[in-house]
Amino acid sequence: MNLLERIRKFLNWEIAPKPDPKLLPEVYSHLKPFRLPLILTVIIMLIGTIGYVVIDDFPIFDAIYQTAITFTTVGFGEVHPLSNVGKIFTINLIIAGFAVFSSAIGILVSELNKGQIVAILKERRMLYKIVRLKKHFVVCYHNDYTIEVTEQLRKNHIPFIVIDPRPEIHEWAEEFKYPNYLQAEPHAELSMLKAHLSSAKGLIALSSSIADNIALIASVRLFEKEHFLPRPYYIISSAESMSDVEKLKKLGADTVVSPTKLTAQRVSAMAARPDMENLLEEFLYKNDNPLDMQEILVPKFSWAVLKKLKETHIRQMTNTSVIGITKKDGKFISMPKGDVLVTSECKLLVIGTQKGIESTKDLVKQRLKPKELKFV
């Protein structure tokens, strides 16, 4: 370990992660048109240096300097007096330099107009940003749903990446404020690697085509197996019909949202209870509201396993309420009483403040019975 690494370790400095060089788009292949001007520049510099040494007996360093100021037409004058032959040689050298620089500028303008080099540099810069993300969501395909979803993710400070194969994604990203995006086919393995899927929390498939969503879900589950990831991704997908919902769930989607069904449920709820119209928006969906509701998994090793709900004293210790328990077999118990047992790998539906819910998560993850229970 060298001195710099020791200093970094002592000060607890973290080196910024970098993307795999294999994922970065190649720039050098697009610089091939510039090879000819560079080669001509070297040849002319060599010919000019030899010419001044042979014709007017210049020292080698003076010959290089005279060739450089003549070739670039800066007009600094002569290092040493020139003979007539030397002056004719200098005129030809100036013309050659002007021709080379003119062609180089033409090539540069042509390549910039194509936009390939600029696009590659933008993508490389974007990949350096993406590799720093952790526990982010990969949102696939841009549409009206994507606009609304990303707006909510942004308000709740959840990092995300938008992937879409269409070239208009650059304009959409600027218009709808996508901080991270890629122009690529979402189901391709290279796209998943570029999106840093190994560190992502999950993926959201929002294509209007059921075929695209099916291909994407299958590709992500295959990606999990091939890369031996420690935990499965949480996949959310959209579907137009109920039959599509069942298909996507069987293929591996954790949650499938049907806009048609959601609209019907909302309309019927408004018709049945007009006074409850804005309840969810007011208490659960607003990002500035302290009230929140989440499901918390009770791990096998938790001290709370096989304890009665009232014995855990969750309400007293975290100021949250357990309003539902989902057993491992999928059975749901609403408004559980204090005598209900907390079983292994069940899920507690908890309502309370963000801080209280985080405290509840930490509480159920402990292996040993908390000492604080003695004072409750």
Strands 137-140 and 321-326: unpaired
Report the sign of the C-alpha dihedral through residues 66, 69, 73, 76, in that order. negative
Report the alpha-carbon distance of residue 209 to residue 84 in Å, rounded.
78
Contacts of residue 205, defined as CB under 8 A and 6 or more positions apart, other chains included, come to 140, 141, 186, 212, 213, 216, 217, 235, 236, 237, 238, 253
Helix (H, G, I), strand (E, B) or coil at 257: strand
Per-residue pLDDT of the chain (376 residues; tens, 9 = 90+): 567 667 766 666 666 677 777 777 776 676 777 788 888 888 888 988 998 888 888 889 888 888 888 887 776 777 788 888 888 888 888 888 888 888 888 877 777 677 677 778 888 888 889 988 888 999 999 999 899 999 989 888 899 999 999 989 999 999 999 999 999 999 898 989 899 888 888 999 998 888 899 999 999 988 888 887 777 889 999 888 778 888 888 888 888 888 777 777 667 766 766 665 555 555 555 555 567 788 999 999 999 999 999 999 898 888 899 999 999 888 999 899 999 999 999 999 998 888 899 999 999 999 888 887 766 6
The model's pTM: 0.63
In terms of residues, how long is the chain? Answer: 376
Report the alpha-carbon distance of residue 112 to residue 161 in Å, rounded.
27
The domains of the chain, with CATH numbers, are 28-114 (1.10.287.70), 133-257 (3.40.50.720), 290-375 (3.30.70.1450)
**CA angle, 184 then 160 then 127, to 5°:** 50
3-state helix, strand, coil in the chain (%, to 5): 55, 15, 35
Q: From 178, 36, 177, 56, select the one nearest 107 (Cα to Cα).
A: 36
> H-type helices in 72-209, by residue range?
84-114, 116-130, 144-155, 169-176, 189-194
* DSSP per-residue string spanning 141-155: S-SHHHHHHHHHHHH
Contacts of residue 219, defined as CB under 8 A and 6 or more positions apart, other chains included, come to 187, 188, 189, 192
